[in-house]
Structures are given as C-alpha cells and as structure tokens.
Amino acid sequence: MAAVEYVKEGRVAIITINRPEVMNAINNEVQRGVRGALVDFNKDDNLWVAILTGAGDRAFCAGADIKEFRPGPIETSRPSMEYLSGDGVKKPIIAAIHGYCLGGGEELALECDLRIAADDSKFGQPEINVGYLAAGGGTQRLPRFIPRAVAMDILLTGRFLNAEEALRWGLVSRVVPKEKLMEVAMEMAKTICTKSPLSVKCTKEAVLEGFNLNLPEALMVERKYANITRNSEDFIEGPRAFVEKRPPQWKGK
C-alpha cells in the first residue's frame, strides 16, 4: 500500500497521505510521495487545482513520525516540505483537514493556499513537548498567518486549537461537517477550475511575491501580474463570453 495516493479527477488532483494506522505521520516515504505528486501536478497542464488530505477518520496528519527522529543538524534530519511553498507550485492547493493536524501536518497545511477544516479538527505544534521546535516552517509561517500572540501561545505551550478557534483566528477559511469535507473541497476546486487558469496562477504569484513587501512595492508586483493577464487570450475571451452570455473557453494563455 502506497504511503501517498495520487489520483486525477478531471482537472483536480487529489493527494492523500495514506498511513491511517499511525494517523498519517510523515516519514521519508510520505515526503517522497507528496513531493512526487506535487511535481507531477505542477507540470501537468490538464490539472488546475490540487487537494491535499489524509486517509482514515482520525487525522489529516499528526506530524512527523517520532520513530524516525534523529539528533543532529537539520541537514541530517528529514528534509522540509519547501516544495509546497512560494515558487514551487504555481497552482492552488487546498488542504482538506479532519481530525488531528499537528506539527509537520499543520506545517503542511500552512504551505497550502486554502485550508478547509472538518468540525472535528484539532490544530497544534506540539514539538515543544519533545524538546524540539516547529522547524518545518511553523515558527515563521504561523505568526504571519494568525496574530503573533496566538501563534506564540500555540508554539510555546503546545496547546491545541479546535476547528472553531482555527476559523476565528484565520488559520482556516471554512469549517464544515466532517462528512461534507471532501464534497466541499471538491466544490471549491471545481469553482476555481471555472476561472482562467492563467488568472488563477497570476493571482497566487502576486499574493506570494508581494506578501512581505511594503505596499508600494507590492502594488508594483500586482501591476506586473495584471499586465500578464491583460495581454492574454483569456482576457479577450472572458469579457467576450460575458457579453455573449456563455461559459468562457479558457486557454490558460
């Protein structure tokens, strides 16, 4: 049984961490599987959106497999999942989260563009409890995505947030009944797939590139990507389809 399942449904890629017997803990096989799936997703022009989730009923991902922990410099420990962030993947990734989303699992979710949580979800960075820290990007991304005081509370105490707290602080954008999680994730993915893939890519790139810049610099980034879309075939097709009252036929260029 593969540690990561990768399937394609139309224009949507579904990546499932498949170690439910250990709450989908991250080991080297999971690392390779997720990275390989994302490489394929990124280069496949027929795929426009990816959903990342976890198998079973208990967890999206409970973090790194502690049995594989080794002391020593981080270079000799498990590699980070940096492929997910920034320039790595040009298309949207939705995290469909249920159950425990802890440690490296929460860091995986933070590297996705959209996060939907089932109502049974629990979020946290418990690395502090085993003499470590959230070194998969947690100490840097979490304070950027939610208020710093809340992030420090989570990072320094190891406490968990429930789904409603995660929604309140902006860690996720939606909370849904557990049995509806993948249905809602697919609806969101299919909605994005009705938009120009070029516009979607440029929107993601503009947000990521401008995130840590001052406002004047960030607005210049926005203008750069706006000009890319305005000089595209999709920008001709979109208004034409609107006037003609028909669905647009996007080319992604």
* Catalytic annotation, residues: 107, 127
DSSP 162-188: EHHHHHHTTS-SEEE-GGGHHHHHHHH
Total count of residues recorded for the chain: 253
Of 144, 139, 167, 170, nearest to 154 by C-alpha is: 139
Residue 97: beta bridge partners? Answer: 117
CA distance 156 to 125: 9
Q: In what order do the strands lie in the sheet with 59-61?
A: 59-61, 100-102, 122-124, 161-162
* Alpha-carbon span 58 to 143, nearest angstrom: 27
